[in-house]
Structure 1
Amino acid sequence: MSSIREIVCCALETGYLSLAAENQLRHLLQKTSYGWEDLNAFVRLQQAAMRGYIRQESRELKPSEYQYL
């Protein structure tokens, strides 16, 4: 399983956060313990998304398409 930092690094490099990566982040944040570096990376990802530097697959899908993933 990837770490929060690895997922964030990939998203920042590609400019894209897939639905699978977003779900994995959600799982890691809810179910695992993580350090300051992971939390800081997640905050950087949030800031990049808010500024439009990261495209999120979940924002591009229609609600009806979620059930098929």
Structure 2
Amino acid sequence: MARIRDVVQTALTTGYLTTEAENQLRKLLTVRYDLEDFNAFMVLQEAAMTGKVIQESRQQCSIT
């Protein structure tokens, strides 16, 4: 199973968070994770809020 930090790294590298990756993060956040994963998730949150990472799910909402 992937780690939170792996999913985050992909999103940060591509600048895009797919709905599949969002769903994967939701699942990963329901099980025990370490501080490094938590910190990576916080970095992703900030990147999404500042527009450095675009969320596919937000694009779909703005279309409809």
- TM-score of the superposed pair, with normalisation by structure 1: 0.86
| 1:1-69 pair list within 5 angstroms | 1-30=1-30, 32-62=31-61
| Displacement over 2 Å in runs of 4+ | none
CA RMSD of aligned residues (A): 1.5
Deviation at 1:62, TM superposition (A): 3.6
Deviation at 1:56, TM superposition (A): 0.4
Give the count of matched residue pairs: 63
- TM-score of the superposed pair, with normalisation by structure 2: 0.92
Structure with higher Rg: it is: 1
Gaps of at least 5 residues in structure 2 are none
